[in-house]
Structure 1
Amino acid sequence: MEQSYCSLPILDIRNRLRSGAVMEMYGQSNEVMNCFHADKGEWLFSDNIHNLITKMDKSFVKIAAIIIVVFTGHISLSQSRYDPSVLFPALPLLPPGNEYRTATGEPGPAYWQNQSDYVIDATLDDQRNVIEGVVTITYTNNSPGALSSLWLQLDQNVYKSYSRGILSGLFQYKDAGEQVKDGGFEIATVKLADNAKTSITYDIYDTRMKLSLPKPLQKGQQLTFQIQYSYLFPVNYKNADFQVNRTDIMPSRNGNIYAVAQWYPRMCVLDDIEGWNTLPYLGNGEFYLDFGNFQVNITLPSSYLVEASGDLMNPEEVLTPVQLKRWQSARDGASRVFIRAANEVLEASSRPAKPTCTWKFKMDRTRDFAWTASKSFIWEASAFNLGDGKKVMGSSLYPVESDKSNSWARSGEYIKFTLQHFSERWFTYPFNKAVNVASNLDGMEYPGIVFCSARDTGNIYWAVVNHELGHTWFPMVVGSNERKYAWMDEGFNLFMDNMATKEFNKGEFKGYAEIDMPVAALFVDTLLPILSRPDIIPGNQVYSIQYQKVAYLLALLRNEIVGAKRFDAAFRKYISDWAYKHPTPWDFFRSMNASIGEDLTWFWKSMFMENFKLDQKITKVENGDKERTFVTIENTERAAMPLVVDITYVSGIHERKSFPVEIWQYNAVYTFAASRKEVVSRVVIDPDQVYPDVDRSNNIYDLKK
């Protein structure tokens, strides 16, 4: 007789063996109560032990005979890779909470972060494609200690000939032997912004700049300093082929379109987790930034239209009288207004008759600032209300080539829906406007402004606009470290996008689903874990790992494991708790655990920290004629999930049984009884195929076969 390990909890076996006729006749004999396998830490239990438990009216002799057979035979084990102690450890998997970050996933009473405020005066030279500017930074030290130096990011130094980004291979030259002019930043001076104009010693290391302060900046103190700099756009690399572009110049029929980002020296983040975050910018990983306030003044030829992250403070100085009235109508009304229409793009009267304009913008409580400029723009805008009554203006700028009914002509519609939907479901949109710009960038996000492809149409255009605007919530509000944890903004965002896409216009679009790979492919051995630094992820795995897999897993947790009500409340609390702050993965895991009220260690460990696979297998179906049928399921791989089984009886009656993930806390095999005393004709694991089972060929038992 073949035997296996017990699939029932130890206490359940004890209680059932102690109950009824078994204990009355057999008592607490050592043969029963000491059938514990010390090596495996499990109770031994044969296939026939079910008869012992269910036939309580049998004689003492028959029961004793069964027990002797059960616990003296050789035990045959499966080859499962599953180890319950890995997913259900006694010691906590997450680091303990502290005064900065609590064990319940909230910022602690001593949580701190520094603040960086910027005043930027910049000029665009459209002949040389160079920005020249002075950035005045006021840095507030809220950290517990004094700072003898400060670190800044010079991301665009990645375009210098021998940058780490180029040498590491992400950026490639078409002609590696040709000498090209370095792009990126040139620093002229760094000075204290006081009357003495004291210079600050600085050193540049690739994409980072270190300032050595004349005296330490104490806790609670502010330091204001100025950097005079210039920035050369990478468009000058005519013989280069860059795989990543987050700032760019796109030629169009009526003039270049400038997408201007990472265009000024930006402060590195100092936090309580890693101190100064000075990872070099290689091109793939994105950004980690302080929050602060911005005042930005941009001077350029008056023939250009400009839009930017912040609120336009001087519309009367940069718009024609006609455009000013239209702009005010768009800001205050609810209908679509063309501030400059397609037939006006080439008209000189559509711009003020003066050599230059200085566009002034202001934005508070934000982590970054980006802008756009072009002579070719159609500019349309409209205002709409969010659920709490707040009014927001959606602004769209695109060339005449993009003015298509299945493309940029619907930009305003997409802005309105996305902001209203996300605000109602998760967290109110924090800015006064949202700008969507047609550019050479396939899709890139900044506070209050996004750059989408000028060429996209149909479904992919919807998907990109919805996704980039969705980044408002991650990472523009919840300021996670994108340089290390890209999945905390890309994956979270795509999860929300997928929900929004289903609700937009009765499911008109598929979103990114058209490029998704099969779920089983998200768990192949060659895929890196989600908790991998973005710069080490191969290019062909970036979307699968950082976007699709995270979105799939959050939907799985929401829809199948904890339920939408509990998940949504927990996710909203996480956003609210960490708005304008810097959470880590541990903060997210702890926050969700605490709000949902479950220890989800098994989920975070197997799905995010590791790339564990799931394979639930039907190993045995013991049909009884007039007795209940017993079904044995084996967990053959290292991941665990709840178990859902659909049973069909020969009479045609269906029964669905659901079991929590805790059934796998004991071992790799679980046996349960069908409810009816009738022959079972078919058994199917996960009939709706919602779990990531990598081998569905072993999920079906068919009596006929």
Structure 2
Amino acid sequence: MYIFSRNRSFTKIATIIILVFTCHTSFCQSRYNPSVLFPALPLLPAGNEYRTATGEPGPAYWQNQSDYVIDVTLDDQQNLIKGIVTITYTNNSPRPLSSLWLQLDQNVYKQNSRGILSGLFQYKNPDEQVKDGGFEIEEVKLTDNSNIAYDVYDTRMKLSLSEPLKKGQQLTFRVKYNYLFPVNYKNADFQVNRTDIMPSKNGNIYAVAQWYPRMCVLDDVEGWNTLPYLGNGEFYLDFGNFQVNITLPSSYLVEASGDLMNPEEVLTPVQLKRWQSAKESSGPVFIRSAKEVLDASSRPAKPTCTWKFRMDRTRDFAWTASKSFIWEVLNFRIGDGKPVTGSSLYPVESEKRNSWSRSSEYIRFTLQHFSQKWFPYPFNKAVNVASNLDGMEYPGMVFCSAKDTGNMYWAVVNHELGHTWFPMVVGSNERKYAWMDEGFNLFIDNIATREFNKAEFAGYAEIDMPVAALFADTILPILTRPDAIPGNQVYPIQYQKVAYLLALLRNEILGTDRFDHAFRKYIRDWAYKHPTPWDFFRSMNASTGEDLTWFWKSMFIENFRLDQRIAKVETTAKNKTLITIENIDRAAMPLVIDITYTNGLHEKRSFPVEIWENGASYTFAANKDDLVSKVLIDPDQVYPDVNRGNNIYDLKR
């Protein structure tokens, strides 16, 4: 999700944050305690047979698999989804299971859902009673047509099994359900819209996501992950295979996460020819152009079409449908030679020079760049859909704002497609650790932006607030559950602070080659698996050969602040200048000093973070015997020092 595009007033938020920020550090007294950042006992939990101390999956690591066959219809008169999802669940865990848990995300739209009552999903007029939304569960049955006992608790459903599902066994069951799109609700205005309808000049655009009952994850860390869906915490899902059949009026064009299996049944002969020729073309091919949108012959002359899709080794599936779509495809290859199709669907209103007309260009660059830099793109296509979801990601498919242009359009497309790597490949728990996909993604986005089209959009600030604001007293630690983070802190904490810190670790503390090697190994090790924050921390420690406890503790687990201060500059009898630096807040960082002598010469000194292991004060001698005229801490201002006013000594003052 790209939350900046959902609320674009973060500069104002940053101003508010910086106003409430006050440094509680006394000028003479340090709050720094080295034993907190450099403990003898390990900060991270011990490794085990499931998750090793080196940050890799262990020899006994396991995860369950959820495979789906879904038959769904769209009633565009009632805006109603009706479906039957058949789930084959494989228990790879060490223990037999007497019950299974599923997510029912659409239930967040019920009047008294926890999401609405907690204020994360809100109605325009909270006093007005509106029609209940959410899933209507019609039946839950085994393959022999016998019933399964089930209970629904808000956005979760518990299935009670008559016989335990043993290790290595599979269970296949089906759920028949329906739901109305949330847009049907009178005067409803939800903060988070991840399944929605956008009106356009030539017809509605359906963004269909979180649209079927999905298995909760059972893991070795927390057992069943059954946190309710409230809004900020997104998804934690099993990997599996999908077969999806979508039936709706033939006037609609449909695209989805997976590969289209029956183009000859759902495309016109002209479109099918274009579809096939696009595979050999080096440039974009329009399956349907803007001029053809209102042409009835651009769709098959039959009442309905069933679009059949397949996708393997994925954690989710989304789709879109509209009569209004221009449909553009571009075939290209990523670094390992694999062919990929970029598919762009948008209404004529969005066909603007610096907007959706560049969709294919952005898809190609993003997938090629991230594939070469971090990990090969895993799917056969990437779909970019114009909608009123300002930015939301699903495997192989993203929804971006139909209205965005310029830098904002680039940023959202690049970001949403970047989610392929986090969390679609590295399947972290977004319900608890959103920063492991949002922040990691923004970090790689920023690198991509600097390299795109001769840095076309690099002039836009990566951090659109003072860095000190990211460490204000009011800011919660990064390692905070997403639903517990106030709305005005979600973007600063989960996105910008994490991206800033990873860039700091890469560019200043470890170096780019060392960091990149470690980051790539983390991605490879946890591809299609479920890492925790501890796995990431341990992986980076092991790959770089560094004990980064001080960094994880101060920057991620806590909201510690850095305040390095020039305490004293004195000349000895032997004409040596001694400089004393104090660490007066709770964080520590390497120390970089620029010294200017009265003769105009400069000396730059760098010291490792270990200088702070023994205490809050560090004294060193300037290398030259000449008189020192100025001393400056962190001359390039790369570290997050919250008080730059005490970073300078000037003889003239």
TM-score class, shorter-chain normalisation, is over 0.9
Shift of 1:626: 5.3
Alpha-carbon displacement from aligned partner over 1:460-493 (angstroms, at most 9, x marks no partner) = 0000000000000000000000000000000000
Q: Which residue of 2 aligns with 1:176?
A: 126
How much does 1:241 deviate? Answer: 1.5
Residue deviations 1:590-609 (CA, integer Å, cap 9, x gap): 00000010000000000000
Offset at residue 511 of structure 1 (A)? 8.1
Instruction: Give the match for residue 436 of structure 2.
Output: 488
Matches for 1:559-598 after TM superposition, within 5 Å: 559-598=507-546
Alpha-carbon contact 1:447-1:472 (below 8 Å) kept: yes
Q: 1:624 touches 1:677 (CA, 8 Å); kept in 2?
A: no
Question: 1:174 offset after TM fit, Å?
Answer: 2.5
Contact 2:124 2:190 in 1 (8 A): no
Q: Structure 1 residue 83 and structure 2 residue 26: aligned?
A: no
1:365 corresponds in structure 2 to 313
The 1:511/1:230 distance shift into structure 2, 3 A limit, reads farther
Letter of the structure 2 residue corresponding to residue 418 of structure 1: T
Deviations 1:7-44 (A, max 9, x none): xxxxxxxxxxxxxxxxxxxxxxxxxxxxxxxxxxxxxx
Deviations 1:21-71 (A, max 9, x none): xxxxxxxxxxxxxxxxxxxxxxxxxxxxxxxxxxxxxxxxxxxxxxxxxxx
**Aligned match of 1:642 in 578, 582, 590?**
590
The letter for the 2-side match of 1:367 is R
Partner of 1:273: 221
Deviation at 1:177, TM superposition (A): 3.4
Q: 1:477 aligns with which of 421, 425, 449?
A: 425
Instruction: Tell me, yes or no, if the aligned pair for 1:459 and 1:511 is still in contact at 8 Å.
Output: no
- Check if 1:123 corresponds to 2:48: no
Aligned match of 2:651: 703
Distance 1:355 1:486 in 2: 43
Matching of residue 141 in structure 1 with residue 91 in structure 2: yes
Once the two structures are superposed, the pairs formed by residues 46-65 of structure 1 within 5 Å of their partners are none
Deviation at 1:170, TM superposition (A): 1.5
Q: Is the 8 Å Cα contact of residues 102 and 213 (structure 2) preserved in structure 1?
A: yes
Give the conservation status (yes or no) of the 8 Å contact 2:257–2:319.
yes
CA offset digits 1:187-209 (Å, max 9, x no partner): 00000013xx1100000000000
What residue number does 1:674 align with? 622
The equivalent residue for 1:301 is: 249
8 Å CA contact 2:446–2:462 kept in 1: the answer is no
Report the AA paired with residue 526 of structure 1.
Answer: T
RCO comparison, higher one (Cα < 8 Å, 6+): 2
- 1:516 to partner: Cα distance: 1.8
Q: Secondary structure of the residue that 2:279 maps to in structure 1?
A: helix
Measured in 2, the distance between the counterparts of 1:604 and 1:376 equals: 49
| Corresponding residue number in structure 2 for 1:452 | 400
What is the CA–CA distance in structure 1 between the aligned matches of 2:501 and 2:35, rounded to whole Å?
Answer: 22
Return the alpha-carbon distance in structure 1 between the equivalents of residues 650 and 572 of structure 2. Answer: 15
**Aligned residues of 2:541 and 2:547 also touching (Cα < 8 A):** yes
Q: Counterpart amino acid of 1:559?
A: N
What is the CA distance between 1:101 and its match in structure 2? 0.1
Contact 1:435–1:448 (8 Å) recurs in 2: yes
Q: Identify unmatched segments of 5+ residues in structure 1.
A: 1-76
User: Is 2:49 the partner of 1:99?
Assistant: yes
**What are the residue-to-residue correspondences of 1:257-336 with 2, within 5 Å?**
257-336=205-284
Q: In structure 2, what residue type is equivalent to 1:553?
A: L
Cα distance, 1:181 vs structure 2: 1.4
TM-aligned CA deviation for residue 512 of structure 1: 6.8
What's the offset of the Cα at 1:328?
Answer: 1.4
* Conservation of the 8 A alpha-carbon contact between 2:463 and 2:496: no
Compared CA separation, residues 511 and 527, structure 1 to 2 (3 A): farther
**Does the residue aligned with 2:413 lie in a helix, a strand or coil?**
helix
1:574-604: CA deviations, max 9, x gaps? Answer: 0000000000000000000000100000000
Q: Which residue of 2 aligns with 1:113?
A: 63
Against the structure 1 CA distance between its residues 519 and 660, is the aligned structure 2 distance closer, same or farther, given a 3 Å change threshold? same
Of 371, 376, 391, the residue aligned with 2:324 is 376
- After superposition, the C-alpha distances for 1:664-703 in whole angstroms (9 at most, x for unaligned) are 0000000000001110001000000000000000001011
C-alpha displacement of 1:286? 0.1
Residue matched to 2:353:
405
Structure 1 residue 176, shift from structure 2 partner: 2.9
The 8 Å contact of residues 624 and 679 in structure 1, kept in 2 or not, is answered as no
Alignment of 1:202-241 (within 5 A): 202-241=150-189
| In structure 2, distance between residues paired with 1:175 and 1:487 | 32
Mapped to 1, the partners of 2:603 and 2:155 lie a distance apart of: 61
Larger mean CA deviation between 340-349 and 171-180 belongs to 171-180
Q: Residue 537 of structure 1 corresponds to which residue in structure 2?
A: 485
Q: Is the 8 A contact 1:302 1:353 kept in 2?
A: yes
| Aligned AA (1:136) | T
Offset of residue 333 of structure 1: 2.5
Q: Which moved more, 1:113-122 or 1:615-624?
A: 615-624
Residue type of the partner of 1:480?
S
Aligned match of 2:24? none
| Contact preservation (8 Å) 1:501, 1:511 | no
Q: CA deviation at 1:628?
A: 1.6
Cα distance in 2 between the residues matched to 1:626 and 1:613: 37
Out of 663, 669, 674, the residue aligned to residue 611 of structure 2 is 663
Amino acid at match of 2:42: P
Residue aligning to 1:651:
599
**2:405 aligned partner, one-letter code:** T
Do the aligned partners of residues 330 and 438 (structure 1) sit closer, same or farther apart at CA in structure 2, a change above 3 Å counting? same
Amino acid across the alignment from 1:650 = T
Whether the 8 Å CA contact 1:307–1:372 is kept in 2: the answer is yes
User: Does the residue aligned with 2:151 lie in a helix, a strand or coil?
Assistant: strand
Q: 1:467 aligns with which of 389, 401, 415?
A: 415
Q: Given the alignment, which residue of 378, 382, 399 partners 1:430?
A: 378
Task: Give runs of aligned pairs for residues 592-631 of structure 1, distance below 5 A.
Answer: 592-624=540-572, 627-631=575-579
Query: By how many angstroms is 1:513 displaced?
Result: 2.8
| Residue 518 (structure 1) aligned with residue 462 (structure 2) | no
User: 1 CA distance for matches of 2:321 and 2:569?
Assistant: 69
Give the secondary structure class of the aligned counterpart of 1:242.
coil
Question: 1:243 is matched by which residue type in structure 2?
Answer: Q
Counterpart amino acid of residue 103 in structure 2: Q
Unmatched 5+ residue regions in structure 2? 1-26
Instruction: Look up the SS of the partner of 2:189 in the other structure.
Output: strand
Q: Which moved more, 1:324-333 or 1:272-281?
A: 324-333
Q: CA deviation at 1:518?
A: 1.1
Q: Between Structure 1 and Structure 2, whose CA radius of gyration is higher? A: 1
Q: Please tell me whether the aligned partners of residues 100 and 107 of structure 1 are also in contact (alpha carbons under 8 angstroms).
A: yes
How far did 1:335 drift? 1.2
> Partners in 2 of 1:421 and 1:375 — Cα distance?
33
8 Å contact kept, 1:463–1:512: no
Matches within 5 A, 1:35-46: none
Aligned amino acid, residue 591 of structure 2: L
Between the aligned partners of 1:433 and 1:187, the Cα distance in structure 2 is 33
SS in 2 for 1:173: coil
User: Is residue 121–residue 297 contact of structure 1 (8 Å, CA) maintained in 2?
Assistant: yes
The alpha-carbon deviation at position 144 of structure 1 amounts to 0.3
- Distance between the aligned counterparts of 2:116 and 2:90, measured in 1? 34
The alignment partner of 2:392 has SS state of: strand
Contact 2:463–2:500 (CA under 8 A) maintained in structure 1: no
Contact 2:103–2:215 at 8 Å: present in 1 too? Answer: yes
In 2, Cα distance between equivalents of 1:152 and 1:658: 53
Q: Could you tell me how far 1:515 is from its partner in structure 2?
A: 6.5
C-alpha spacing 1:429/1:188, structure 2 compared with 1 (3 Å): same
Which of residues 243, 259, 264 in structure 1 aligns to 2:191? 243
- Is 2:262–2:307's contact at 8 Å kept on the other side of the alignment? yes
List per-residue Cα deviations over 1:482-521 (Å, max 9, x = no partner).
0000000000000000000000011111487377211111
Partner secondary structure for residue 171 of structure 1: coil
In structure 1, how many angstroms separate the alpha carbons of the residues matched to 2:460 and 2:176? 42
